A and B are shown apart, each in its own frame.
Chain A
Amino acid sequence: MLVEMIDICKVYPPNVVALKHVDFSLERGEIHALVGENGAGKSTLMKILSGLIRPSFGEIRVNGQRVQINSPVVAARLGIGMVHQELALVGSLRVYENVVLGSEPSRFGLLQPQKSSQMVKQLAERFGLNVDVDAITQELSVAGRQKVEILKQLYRNVDILILDEPTAALTPQESEELFDEMFKLRERGKTIVFVSHKLDEVLKISDRITVLRKGEKIATVKNDGSISAAQLAEMMVGKRIELVSIKARRPAGDPVLVVKDLSLVDRTSGKKLLDGVNLTVHAGEVVGIAGVEGNGQNELIEVLIGLRKPTSGSIKIMGEDVTNLDPRQRRAFIAYVPQDRKNVGLALKATIMENLIMTHHMNPPLRRKWLLDKSVAKDFASRLIKDFEIVCRGPFEKVQNLSGGNQQKVVVAREISLNRQLILLDQPTRGLDVASTQYLRDQVLMLRDSSKAVLLVSADLDELMDLSDRIYVMRSGRIVAELDPRTVDKTVVGYHMLGVSA
């Protein structure tokens, strides 16, 4: 065994038990998938292995030697490196500079850019990583930057590479390429931990699979064809759930949101963030926005909700021109589930009630002239907690004490109960576990069936394909395609996202 983690426990102060007696092992030259819902303890386990946090209990052995991994530096010395979901690269530097950053080859105290560049190029070739080492890092795609991170670890001679949900922001094609590269790394004797909750990918590439649930290890299984996605899902969740959504297409109603020639130009760089966007969402339909992250989806949402003023173009909601209204006024028409619930969707230090009454507070019965009716607020919050099955100790608990899924339920409960005609959903299931995801998808379909207009932005293509009646694909701030998910294949959407012809 290359690595053995034995009887690992972790308690986060004050009383969050993240890991309970978990055993985990790695063999040389394997791809080991670590799967589990959010909050199952995957990240905690990997953070312990890579020295970011210390276990409360248990021991770790590397090559049979008992070790204390007190910091990432110690981990690197033992040959363990992690590529995080948030990539930590200096955007203005060239790729090879980022790779060697912190341990540059030098001679007599002078840097040797030529040598660095060559070394990194050789490294990339040896491990079959297809990346231009002289490119400016920020000009690369997410997939490209991920490769830089991997190279960075390889440059430091790691034997064990931990990839934390590496495919979350990739197109199907990019994911395929990554998998090929992972195989090449395995051939050259590297060991890879693949953290994911995309079961089909896990089954496709891994040699062994470890399943965690609620801080406990459920099983480690060999991936030799004897296990199915359904079985894995059952191990993860603990009960059998249907991962299908019913898509009963109904005729769309009147247009609710009409966006015409919407453009947004960044004032400092002059870059066109949105470039003549036209789109329509009708009552009773779900319209998806697909695209590689950073292609204008965020800006589109910000302009729609009124956080940024468009440079040109118009936005009409139910026939009314809202282009020049501020967010306060627009909220009379729009319900909005933001992508970043911690920074936009919620005030974490406030109570559940205070979070639930936001936006509702502007109108009676909650608002009575100067006052906010506390008893109405409490009843209102209690009702939503019950209706949306938010697991908590009561309306006065702080939102930061809730799990991610329940936090998202607070946002969704508030927005859906606003009963607005237009609903903007920006990555609503990101970071949610399977059960919460399913719950949310059901909600979206219910909204559609009650004749609301839903605009759904998601990086998860499966989700878009499952839920949307129509899909717009965005690239470089433009709508490049309008597709019908019933007639086209996922890969076609991917081609449009990347701008290559099929």
Chain B
Amino acid sequence: MNHVRPILQTILAIVFAFLVAAIFILLHRSSPFEVYGALYQYGLGSWFSFSNTLNAAFPLILTGLSASIAFMSGVVNLGQHGQFLWGALVCAVLGVYLRLPSWLAVPLLAILGGLAGAAWAGLAAFFKRRYRMDEFISTLMLNFLAEYMTLYLATYPFLDPKAYVPATRLIRPEYFMTGVFGVNVAFFVAFFMVFLCWWFAWRTWQGYEARMMGYNKLFATVGGCDVESDTTLILLFSGFLSGLAGALLILNGTQHRFTKGIGANFGWDGVMIAIMANNGVFQTFFYALFMGFLKNGAVGMEFETSVPSEFVMFLQSIIVLTLVGTRSGIASLTDWLRAKRELGKLVK
């Protein structure tokens, strides 16, 4: 019962969200059946579409985990974007210059990218310990720094002079990660990280301290948790996940190089996914897939029904908003109904 109820709520919320969005589609004088048909066809309908959805989701899973792990511990890491960029840049640059057998280089590059993200988050941890600077503001500001610093590095010292946009050179082709039946290996790495995060949060004692810190920081402090170290650890871990997302995007994405704007919206999408997922690890995985599906399917929707792209983004927001709203709505509705029933028993 404990696990069934949230799942039912989520399903109900998604159905309701699509119904609400359907109203807007009708207002736009399109057919919801056509629009959702296209969404399905391009997002899930075939193995090809489905594998593309999985491939679109893997960076989102990792940035989502990065945000979830931080938020569940009460650490407000909003620096996913910057940590992602550093992971991507370090991986892209080393991928050009490093000469190692690929079985060694590929995992090494991924880990180094993750460490770069961790180091960038570590700056925020350092500011917090040393100067009591709130990580909420420091991680946010570090995003801007990362944006400009990585762009500078890609535009000048590491520029590929033959590229049409500011970009580093392609990494060595033998470092390109492959896929299994069209599903990128990076997806499986992300999937593994989901389990690692779950294991960390629910099986290790530092995970326990972190979660308690997230519930109630004063309680954890008084209970003897080493709140400072835990916060640092969480920031580093969270940064590692974002950095890993960036590195894997270079190794197993479509670009294989650092280009301007490569961070796209992965960082903020991760934050949004964490919020939708209530910071749950497996929920994060689910909602990242859901976002990947929307992203991937939305373009198809645009093609088949010729709705403008602004409308597609609008629909996405409607779905997300309704989803989050409905989930709490259902909870209070069931509460209200139970209260009514209880009163009914009382006054007959």
Contacts and interface: CB of A to CB of B under 8 A. Distances in A.
Are any A and B Cβ atoms less than 8 Å apart in their complex?
Answer: yes
B222 A305 contact: yes
A357 B2 CA distance: 22
Interface stretch (B54-62, B248-256, B332-340): B332-340
Given A328-B225, A344-B222, A361 B216 contact: no
Nearest to B229: A328
B233 to A, nearest CB: 12
Interface string A346-363: 111110001001110110
A232 to B, nearest CB: 27
Contact of B222 (A338, A361, A367): A338
A123 to B, nearest CB: 42
B205 A372 contact: yes
B342 A343 contact: no
B26 interface: no
B216 A343 contact: yes
B257 to A, nearest CB: 38
B157 interface: no
B35 interface: no
Contact of B215 (A13, A344, A347): A347
Contacts of B2: 396
Contacts of B226: 328
Contacts of A344: 218-219, 222
B339 A370 contact: no
A9 B336 CA distance: 15
B343 A14 contact: no
A327 B224 contact: yes
A307 B339 contact: no
A307 B224 CA distance: 11
Given A20-B346, A343-B218, A371-B205, A13 B223 contact: no
A57 B347 contact: yes
A436 B207 CA distance: 34
A414 B338 CA distance: 33
A11 interface: yes
Contacts of A17: 342, 346
Interface residues of A, number: 39
Contacts of A358: 212, 219-220, 223-225
Contact of B204 (A13, A343, A347, A372): A372
Contacts of B334: 14
A361 B215 contact: no
Nearest to B207: A372
A271 interface: no
Nearest to A336: B222
Contacts of B215: 347-350
Contacts of A366: 205
Contacts of A56: 339, 343
Contacts of B335: 13-14
Interface in A317-355: 327-328, 331, 336, 338, 343-350, 354
A12 interface: yes
Interface string B195-226: 00000000111111101100110111111111
Contacts of B343: 9, 11, 56-57
A374 interface: yes
B91 to A, nearest CB: 28
B41 to A, nearest CB: 41
Interface in A347-401: 347-350, 354, 357-359, 361-362, 366-367, 370-372, 374, 396
A13 B336 contact: yes
Nearest to A350: B215
Contacts of A349: 215
A335 B43 CA distance: 57
A60 to B, nearest CB: 16
Contacts of A487: none
Contact of A11 (B205, B216, B221, B342): B342
A372 B208 contact: yes
Contacts of A370: 204-206
Interface string B230-241: 000000000000
Contacts of A357: 208
A18 B255 CA distance: 62
Interface in B292-348: 332, 334-336, 338-343, 346-347
A214 interface: no
Given A336-B222, A343-B216, A347-B216, A12 B339 contact: yes
Given A13-B335, A305-B222, A350 B204 contact: no
Contacts of A307: 221-222
Contacts of B208: 354, 357, 361, 372
Contacts of A359: 223-224
A21 B209 contact: no
Given A11-B339, A57-B346, A327-B221, A371 B203 contact: yes
A11 B204 contact: no
B338 A15 contact: yes
A12 B216 CA distance: 25
A340 to B, nearest CB: 9
Given A344-B222, A370-B205, 13 more contacts: A9-B347, A11-B342, A14-B339, A15-B338, A17-B342, A327-B222, A327-B224, A343-B219, A347-B212, A359-B224, A372-B205, A372-B207, A372-B208
Interface of A: 9, 11-15, 17, 20-21, 56-57, 305, 307, 327-328, 331, 336, 338, 343-350, 354, 357-359, 361-362, 366-367, 370-372, 374, 396
Which 6 pairs across A and B sit closest by C-beta, in order of nearness? A347-B215, A13-B335, A14-B335, A358-B223, A331-B224, A14-B338
14 contacts: A11-B339, A11-B342, A13-B338, A15-B342, A307-B222, A345-B219, A347-B212, A350-B211, A358-B220, A366-B205, A367-B205, A371-B205, A372-B208, A374-B203
